Structure 1
């Protein structure tokens, strides 16, 4: 039997760790955990991936947000690595490199349905035409801007304020290059 029913019921509590574990236990009971472990290499790798998607679990989350790795995005979008790499090179998807040379994709650029941030390519081309400061681009997209009524450029793009964001990206890019 590869699937295990996990009949764990935890008493309601105000403790955030207990609430997290209770929600997790409810969901893993219907999963084939041996397959999950095999597909990810180890349970530690599963936990690392889970934590990477939780806001606040990583130091950079405060500035950029949680990240998806290449395998996670490929599975979600059902695309090849080459297609994902091409989208990153074109600026349709923002990809940053970790200190250990892993490709990371900030989650802010995707909505819950997987739709990409509108006009991201245009904004990145204006902000950083040489694609030289991708971490800085990610931070810029997530920094509140007075000219956008306190919204971040990423939030403003989702609210269809792309013209304003592109103009601000052009100004920031000119300042960076100037």
Structure 2
């Protein structure tokens, strides 16, 4: 597993949604690094990927959530080692009880399948159905890591580019939350 600069040279075997991510980042003049790997479905599977990306990179849990009525959808970015307590988050955002949204909503709004959830999927949310939620601790590392809408590659770019270029271009104003670390 090796860190590469920018988009893959050969994109013939890549999905369109992955190529759209590289086009999006290139259009924004975001410098990024990429590591290709086996499908990473769990945080545990991401440990070797995390080591390749480096200790200076925030690797997030990306949780796709909804309210009980399935009318409000949320993408929560939080540190991978923090426990998730729905009650705390619900109180902070003024929502009824939250739960994990069904995969079909993830595909409909973000063009992403389970295990590939990424903030970059918001570029596909043209109806603006998904509210971005970011735990403040995610923004503390100098670099940010995420999937390019598929779970066989991971990206690394500066947190500054994430907050100053990528988030504004996604047109999903985030709500910054503070999730307790119950350790």
What TM-score, normalized to structure 1? 0.27
Q: From the CA coordinates, give the structure whose radius of gyration is larger.
A: 1
What TM-score, normalized to structure 2? 0.26
Decide which structure has greater strand share: 2
Decide which structure has greater helix share: 1
Which structure has more RCO (C-alpha within 8 Å, separation ≥ 6)?
2
